[in-house]
Amino acid sequence: MTEVLDYVSDPWTLEFMRRGLIAAVMVSAVAAVIGCFVILKGMAFIGDALPHASFGGVAAAFVLGANLYLGGAIAAVLTALLIGFVSRRALLKYDTAIGILFVGAFAAGILIISRRTNYTPDLFSFVFGNVLGVSWSDVWTTAVVAAVILVLVVLFYKELLFVTYDPSMAAAAGLPVAAVQYGLLALIGVTTVIGLQTVGIVLVVALIVTPAATAQLLTRRLPAMMAAGAAVGVLSSLAGLYVAYYADVSASAAIVLTATAFFFLAFLFAPGRGLLWQRGFSPAGRV
Amino acid sequence: MAEQSGPALALEADDIWAGYNGRTALEGVAFNIETGCLAGLVGPNGSGKSTLLRLILGLHKPWRGRIRIFGSGARPDRLRLGYTPQTEQVDWSFPVTVLDVVLMGRYGRLGPLRRPTATDRDIARQALESVRMADLADRRIGELSGGQQRRALVARALAQEADLLLLDEPLSGLDATAQHDLINLFEGLRHQGKTLLVATHDLSCVAADFDHAILLNRKVVAFGRPADVFTEELLNATFQRHLLLVRLEDRTYVGHD
């Protein structure tokens, strides 16, 4: 019995594991909450684009000796707002605007660091994530940013719900639709930046999309979807770190794959909506 | 609503010109609708019906012309205007219940940072009651039938306590029974003093049950009582090439669109 307990508690005797867990839990919970809006609006591509775009800002901040997160956040938020502006003006299709802007910003990042090859290992932790390398100051930064995002979502829940669900009706009722849409894009941008150190640019989209999509299969209303998404994200972080510790594999990949596994479980077994449920039990097969 | 002497006007449009990206959608549109009237806005696809509704709501600015609502040229309390979008524009897979959607009708009155109160919930439930959907309050919107979807959207406009309801194609895609139910609901609302402007290309419903019809095809071809304006000549002018069948009392008209 104590052996089992040792297995459970062993990873957390190490301080870098504890720090990594705290950071991963906070990031995955916030990413899932924001991710609910992202997948309901069909904006998963944005969740992929903004982390890449933020790399341009990270690289610029690196060369200038400024705070890397601040640089990344500025680049991500600017890209998000530009995407919103271009698509609101209907100059281009939404996904075309995203494709152009994010690859451009990412390429700018590569261009900047290509002049500084001796420093690139540090920056590569942003590309692939290094959750076990976070410092206490990273943890605190993440905590403050995560708290601000959650408070904003709670305060403006009514507006976010209405504008996400039915923007033309929301505008007719006098809500500031453009401001809410830009605000949501900025929140997505900031969320991706706090995910950079945990799972990295390439994988942060998974923390935004996968737990929220899992939750959508399991819940009926948006508040429940947010809570379930956060729970799936937190569980994935916890389980992923155990896998990383005992199998000695990349922590960010283990967290993301755990979330993917949860999604497939829900996809197959979600009551009423899972694949097996539709085949086996529901004659109507309604989704 | 205040006591009115004579036929007070709910809506007056005067020489409205409007469009998108330089393309003209409406050319000199003018008409008026009396308070407490069930009016049909009739025209083929692309005739500018949705544009006109968006102009009335203030979601789109006209290039020229004026819209007066309840006798006022200034933008009135926008919450007196209720709106139901075309059902294709609504995301029915969104994780909200019927009551959640109807409560959104209250959001415009709440202002920022305020949550719906028990009173707002009561009003939303009464609105559901008046469209006979109280038992479906906790249903996911994706689980509603076509007719229930329309009635849920009407309930949202009622929860907003709107006096002038603008409904974009509420009758399309419904079977005869559901259409009949919806028109009964419209007539009930008219009896409560609401004014309804219903965009539709369903001529037989307008001919049978509406007080007023506006024939629109970029211009107002005619407006007046359906019996007066549903003539072969005016309908042909409205629908042009679009082929359609119109039954008026015992006569059948074939228009081409």
Q: What is the pLDDT of residues A249-272, one digit of tens each?
A: 999 999 999 999 999 999 998 887
* Alpha carbon distance A72, A56 (integer Å): 7
Q: Give whole-number Cα distances, A244 to A2, A19, A236, A262, A264, in Å.
A: 22, 14, 12, 17, 20
What is the per-residue pLDDT for A118? 63
CB contact under 8 A, B95 and A40: yes
* Alpha carbon distance B233, B214 (integer Å): 15
The beta-carbon neighbor of A175 closest among B85, B107, B140 is B107
Query: What's the complex ipTM?
Result: 0.85
pTM of the entire predicted model: 0.87
Please report which confidence band the pLDDT of residue B207 belongs to, taking 50, 70 and 90 as the band edges: confident
DSSP SS3 for A158: helix
The beta-carbon neighbor of A222 closest among B58, B95, B112 is B95
What is the per-residue pLDDT for B239? 82
Residues of A in contact with B124 (CB under 8 A): none
Residue B2 has pLDDT above 50, yes or no: no
Q: Give whole-number Cα distances, A148 to A78, A222, B3, B126, in Å.
A: 19, 20, 51, 37
Tokens 């203030």 label which residue?
B58
A–B CB contacts, 8 A cutoff, strictly below:
76
Is A19-213 assigned to CATH 3.30.499.10?
A: no
Sign of CA dihedral A235, A51, A39, B107: positive
Longest dimension (CA), chain B: 57
**Residue B233's CB: how many other CB atoms inside 10 A?**
9
Indicate which of B56, B69, B78, B94 best probes the interface with A, i.e. most A CBs within 10 Å of its own CB: B94
User: Two tokens at A142?
Assistant: 């993440």
Residue B5 has pLDDT above 70, yes or no: no
What is the per-residue pLDDT for A286? 45
* Alpha carbon distance A97, B8 (integer Å): 49
Q: Give whole-number Cα distances, A146 to A54, A58, A126, A261, B137, in Å.
A: 17, 19, 18, 25, 34
Mean pLDDT of B18-38: 91
The beta-carbon neighbor of A155 closest among B58, B113, B140 is B113
Give the range among A151-160, B91-100, B168-177 with minimum mean pLDDT. B168-177
Distance from CA of A86 to the nearest CA of B (A): 15
What is the per-residue pLDDT for B140? 94
Chain B residue with minimum CA distance to A216: B95
Give the range among A159-168, A195-204, B35-44, B136-145 with minimum mean pLDDT. A195-204
What is the per-residue pLDDT for A68? 84
pLDDT digits (tens, 9 = 90+) for B63-87: 999 898 887 766 657 788 999 999 8
Residues of A in contact with B101 (CB under 8 A): 165
Residues of B in contact with A180 (CB under 8 A): none
* Alpha carbon distance B88, B170 (integer Å): 11
pLDDT digits (tens, 9 = 90+) for A56-95: 998 888 888 888 888 999 999 998 888 888 877 766 777 8
What is the per-residue pLDDT for B241? 64
CB contact under 8 A, B97 and A161: no
What is the per-residue pLDDT for B111? 83
What is the per-residue pLDDT for B251? 58
pLDDT digits (tens, 9 = 90+) for A169-226: 898 888 999 999 999 999 999 999 888 877 888 888 999 999 999 999 999 999 999 9
